[in-house]
Amino acid sequence: MSLNNLKPKEGSTHRKKRLGTGQGSGHGQTSTRGQKGQNSTSGGSKPDGFEGGQMPLLRRIPKSGFNNAKFRTEYQCVNLDSIEKNFSEGDQIDFKSLKNKKLIKKNMPIKILANGEIKKAFTIKADAFSKSAKEKIEKAGGKVILEEKSPLLPFEKGGK
């Protein structure tokens, strides 16, 4: 037995019901929706949470808590092992060089994380570093330059 020979057990699957395919099919004309009534035509369904006009539960219960997601800083993370693999000793690493090597995709702030080992000395410019990443870079003889919080580059259309 192999994956290309697998078939569902006989009687376990059903043929798709083809609606509106003429009276002879048994599913023509009203397409199994009945004669009249709210759900017989398109747009007849009620929204989720609708309780027949009564004030819905979601609106009866007060809001609580706080969410700051709109103003959260989201970083693109780059690990030290990928920097070690893609750059040579003494390289200056910044937004443009990371984008050219396709290690980052979007115009978002960059955070360097400490996954992997680093033996080459680099000068790395980024918006944030993890503590352990900073230690590893400096231990290898590299420099850490923290970018000032400046307005980000304009976002590219299409989210690329």
Residue 15 lies in a domain: no
Residue 40 lies in a domain: no
pLDDT at 158: 52
HEC readout, 47-103: CCCCECCECCHHHHCCCCCCCCHHHCCCCEEEEHHHHHHHCCCCCEECHHHHHHCCC
CATH number assigned to the domain comprising residue 101: 3.100.10.10
Residue in the block written with tokens 């980024």:
126
Range of the domain at 135: 72-148
Question: Each residue of 4-59: pLDDT tens digit?
Answer: 999 999 999 999 999 999 999 889 999 999 999 998 989 888 999 999 999 999 99
Residue 136 lies in a domain: yes
- Please calculate the CA angle 117-139-96 and round it to the nearest 5 degrees: 70
What are 29's two structure tokens?
Answer: 């004309």
Residue 122 lies in a domain: yes
Residue 56 lies in a domain: no
Residue 57 lies in a domain: no
Mean pLDDT over each residue of the chain, to the nearest integer: 89
Q: Tally the domains of the chain.
A: 1
Residue 20 lies in a domain: no
pLDDT at 160: 47
Q: Is the pTM of this model over 0.85?
A: no
